[in-house]
Amino acid sequence: MERKLPLFIVTGASGVGKTTVMEELRVQLPDFVVFSTDIDNFGTTASKLEYQDRYNLLLHFASAVAKSGRGTIICGTFMPWDAEKCDVYQAFSELCFINLHCDDSTRNQRLRNREDKAMWTDDMLKQHEQFAQWLLDNAETAYNPPMPTIVTTSTPPAEVAEQIKRYVMQKWNERNVT
């Protein structure tokens, strides 16, 4: 019987650094495949898919990677209930979420300086402030295992990736203990 592997998901509100940390993760964890939920990474065909269909595709990719004995990290806003709806959800031993977080002022400044800055109205920024707070408030109870938070306000991407790597390797190595 094939041993199930954990799947790692780096999540957080928009503007916390999920996309920025991806290249560092690829450097620091070369034996892992790193995917993004960003629409730009799906090409012209897959970008037409609804979010849930994209999540399902990502979990299928991760399941295929796991069959080779390698791990996957998905970076993007992805919630446990989105994963539970995917038809290969049971292919993983567990889904380990990691929350990236920064203070509201920093996040709002980052969002207002992005290419898509026109979409970041005061109302949208407020919604992301509330979502970021929800993630903090529910990290221990809505996630199994509980979701650690890494603060990205002034932490360089290489250090954020190092903190993610420590958590990933701890969970990855736990699977070999049993």
The predicted structure's pLDDT at residue 102: 97
Q: Are strands 92-101 and 149-151 parallel, antiparallel or unpaired?
A: parallel
The predicted structure's pLDDT at residue 35: 93
User: pLDDT digit of tens for each residue in the chain (178 aa)?
Assistant: 567 999 999 999 999 999 999 999 999 999 999 999 876 666 677 667 888 888 998 999 999 999 999 999 999 998 999 999 999 999 999 999 999 999 999 999 999 998 888 889 999 999 999 999 999 999 999 999 999 999 999 999 999 999 999 999 999 998 765 5
- Do residues 24 and 65 touch, judged by C-beta distance below 8 A? no
**C-alpha separations of 72 from 67, 78, 142, 154 in Å:** 11, 14, 22, 26
How far apart (Å, rounded) are the C-alpha atoms in residues 74 and 9?
5
The predicted structure's pLDDT at residue 40: 63
Task: Tell me, yes or no, if the pTM score tops 0.85.
Answer: yes
Cα angle, residue 113 at apex, residues 28 and 101 outer, rounded to 5°: 50
The predicted structure's pLDDT at residue 104: 97
**C-alpha separations of 110 from 106, 115, 134, 152, 172 in Å:** 6, 10, 20, 12, 32
